[in-house]
């Protein structure tokens, strides 16, 4: 069984640029959730994708967008980067969309620094 | 909106001492509560959840709806318990969205 992987591990961008982060879900999982974890904070839900469609969104502006592909891997895109976007971005996969009781398995994260 | 509060940023205990990591939540309905743990240089992983009512690595947590709490307890701390612990909540009908607290760093000293 392959775990959740994320790429890249680290990234440095400048303000105003755009970034794409990638996530491969665990084998057998069809749901991917993205979280932002600022320094000293807990992870904060950005959005979730289930079977290639957005299935819930947190309190993030539209410049945060995503995609899920037929193989259930996912991308998180952030446009017009701001300094406050500097954080660890976590991807978590699970099976079943909104089904209660489904455990989310987290990837190692991508650390983004915006200068 | 739901909220999870972990009042302690750091908890330091001696090996063999009891551990209690506090978690309080605010939500008017029936939530599902979790504890996640992150050991040094490892990814975030599920420790336990209230619906399972199980003990994992000697840790237990009981959901107290009256006090809206889900404190994590272990009778005898071990050095390998040193880690960051996050309490999280999932609401009914809220998809698979988790709302996390800010975390408590547990340090077990010899």
Q: Tell me the count of A-B CB pairs closer than 8 A.
A: 66
Q: Do B98 and A106 touch (CB under 8 A)?
A: no
Nearest CA in chain B to A40: B102
- Shortest distance between the Cα of A85 and any Cα of chain B, in A, equals 18
- Shortest distance between the Cα of A74 and any Cα of chain B, in A, equals 16
Q: How far is CA A7 from CA A21, A69, A89, A90, A108, in A?
A: 6, 16, 10, 11, 9
Contact status, residue B49 vs residue B43, Cβ threshold 8 Å: no
- Whether chain A has a CB inside 8 Å of the CB on B95: the answer is yes
Can you tell me the distance from the alpha carbon of A91 to that of B3, in angstroms, rounded to the nearest whole number?
A: 21
Q: Which residues from A are below 8 Å from B when comparing CB atoms?
A: 4, 31, 33, 35, 40-45, 48, 50, 55-56, 58, 90, 94, 96-109
| Average pLDDT across chain B, whole number | 92
Q: How many CA atoms lie within 13 A of B14 on its CB side?
A: 1
Q: How far is CA A105 from CA A2, A52, A77, B39, B110, in A?
A: 11, 18, 21, 15, 32
| Rounded average pLDDT over A10-37 | 95
Q: Which residues, at least 6 apart from B45, have a Cβ–Cβ distance to it below 8 Å?
A: A105, A106, B36, B37, B38
pLDDT at A113: 98
pLDDT digits (tens, 9 = 90+) for B31-53: 889 999 999 999 999 999 888 87
Q: Is the dihedral of CA B9, B13, B16, B18 positive or negative?
A: negative
Q: How far is CA B32 from CA A9, B45, B47, B52, B69, in A?
A: 31, 16, 14, 10, 12
pLDDT at A101: 52
Contact status, residue A114 vs residue A83, Cβ threshold 8 Å: yes
Higher pLDDT, residue B94 or A2: A2
Contact status, residue A35 vs residue A90, Cβ threshold 8 Å: yes
Q: Residue-wise over A103-112: b if at least 16 C-beta within 10 A, else e?
A: ebbbbbbbeb
pLDDT digits (tens, 9 = 90+) for B51-69: 887 888 999 998 998 999 9
Of B92, B93, B100, the CB nearest to A42: B100
pLDDT at B93: 65
Residue B21 pLDDT class (50, 70, 90 cuts): very high
* pLDDT at residue B100 greater than cutoff 60: yes
Backbone angles phi, psi at B20, to 5 degrees: -140, 115
Nearest CA in chain A to B101: A42
């Amino acid at each position: 069984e392959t775990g959740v992987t994320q790429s890249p591990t680290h990234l440095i961008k400048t303000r105003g640029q755009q970034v794409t982060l990638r996530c491969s879900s665990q084998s057998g999982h069809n749901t991917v959730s993205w979280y932002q974890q600022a320094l000293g904070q807990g992870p904060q839900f950005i959005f979730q994708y289930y079977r290639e469609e957005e299935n819930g969104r947190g309190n993030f502006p539209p410049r945060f967008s995503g995609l899920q592909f037929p193989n259930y891997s996912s991308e998180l895109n952030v446009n017009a980067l701001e300094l406050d976007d500097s954080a660890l971005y976590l991807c978590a996969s699970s099976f079943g969309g909104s089904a209660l009781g489904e455990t989310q398995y987290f990837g190692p994260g991508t650390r983004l620094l915006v200068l | 909106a739901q909220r999870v509060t972990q009042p302690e940023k750091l908890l330091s205990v001696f090996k063999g001492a009891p551990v209690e990591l506090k978690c309080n939540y605010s939500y008017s309905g029936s939530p599902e509560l979790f504890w996640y743990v992150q050991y040094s240089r490892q990814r975030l992983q599920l420790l336990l959840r209230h619906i399972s009512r199980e003990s994992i690595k000697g840790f237990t947590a009981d959901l107290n709806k009256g006090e809206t709490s889900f404190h994590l307890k272990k009778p005898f701390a071990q050095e390998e318990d040193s880690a960051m612990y996050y309490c999280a909540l999932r609401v009914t009908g809220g998809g698979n969205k988790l709302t996390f607290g800010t975390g408590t760093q547990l340090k077990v000293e010899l």
